[in-house]
Structure 1
Amino acid sequence: MNFFTLFGLPEQFKLDKNHLANVYKSLAQVTHPDKFSTASQQQKLLSVQKSSQVNDGYNVLKHPLSRAEHMLELRGLSLQHETKTLQDPAFLMQQMEWREQLEDAQYAKEPMAVLEDLEQELQTQTAEQYKILEDLLVSSDEQSNQKAAAEIRKLKFMHKLLSEIARKEEEWFDDF
């Protein structure tokens, strides 16, 4: 299913979030199963299916990372169940450094400050990676798609690490 088509949007990475939300509200109202309470069983089932597609589409399109993955899937490149690892040695080294910083933070004089600095660095890097991804997704050739897939892998790691930082902050905050 092409969620861009379902929402009547151009197939592009950069979307107007307010417009997306407005289209979602309209589609959700039209397809909501309550509107079909007196309809035939087949129409009710179809309504539930359409409503589910609208909800799924909105959840995919509103998040940049899942939106980028969806774009690549539409181009024939699926990242859903892949086990391919990153081949970028510089990023692999960066990953190890970030992990080390996260592990060493607990031994720092001010562990929360270390976590906040690491979080800020990751957020800055994440914003830069999203810009690279956006530029790559403008073109739909195979080379750009493969590079975009590599950027998505990097961003997934970075989001996971940001989540781990948030968990540590919460855990350590409770200890104070």
Structure 2
Amino acid sequence: MSRNYFVLFEIEPAFNISFDELEKKYIELSKTDIDERQSQNMENINKAYQVLKSPLKRAEHLLDLFGVETQNDHLDPEVLNESMEIREYLLDCDDLQFASRMIDEKIKGCIKNLINAFAAKNFDEVATQILRLKYLYKSFEEVKKNAANSNF
């Protein structure tokens, strides 16, 4: 079990957190740390902040804290099918802005699904949505890479 980053930031362990509160606590902890010159502690604060501000990392951290092991042996057929459809679409796509918006909307939907699944303590659904989010982030990075390459 890893360290509980929610405790460090004095935030209730939940998927749906206040980013304003997270940011305030981060600044507060950073100022305290600078005054005390504890670079090791600052590394922990930065790592915790990176985990808590990322929906994917935060979801994985919560599952770890709850002691839930994710089964990556079997891929959800719906997640796999959606990922393959996106990849096929991206191969023939000439409107990368539209593709980017489409994937961004799917990411937002996935995050809403994670909020609901955590609220219902449906950890099987959480694991499925985490896998889906990983694929969506990968597709989003691919679109950004293709957009950068097409500008040359």
With the length of structure 1 as denominator, give the TM-score of the two structures.
Answer: 0.77
Residue in structure 2 matched with residue 159 of structure 1 by the alignment: 137
- Alignment counterpart, residue 30 of structure 2, candidates 28, 31, 46: 28
Q: Name the residue aligned to 1:92.
A: 80
From 92, 100, 106, give the equivalent of 1:119: 100
Partner of 1:147: 125
Larger RCO: Structure 1 or Structure 2 (Cα < 8 Å, ≥ 6 residues apart)?
2
Distance 1:118 1:126 in 2: 12
The separation in 2 between residues aligned to 1:130 and 1:169, in whole angstroms, is 25
Structure 1 gaps of 5+ residues are: 37-46, 106-110
**TM-score (normalised: structure 2):** 0.89
Match of residue 11, structure 2, among 4, 9, 19:
9
Q: Percent identity over the alignment?
A: 28
TM superposition shift of 1:17 = 1.1
Residue 126 of structure 1 contacts residue 155 of structure 1 at CA under 8 Å; is this kept in 2?
yes
Amino acid at match of 2:73: K
Q: Name the Cα RMSD after superposition.
A: 1.8
| Whole-angstrom CA distance in 1 between matches of 2:104 and 2:42 | 34
Kept in 1, the 8 Å contact 2:13–2:62? The answer is yes
**CA radius of gyration, larger in:** 1
The match for 2:63 among 37, 57, 72 is 72
Q: Deviations over 1:98-125 (max 9, x none)?
A: 11111123xxxxx2x2x22222221111
Displacement of 1:157: 0.5
Does residue 1:101 correspond to 2:89, yes or no?
yes
Gaps of 5+ in 2: none
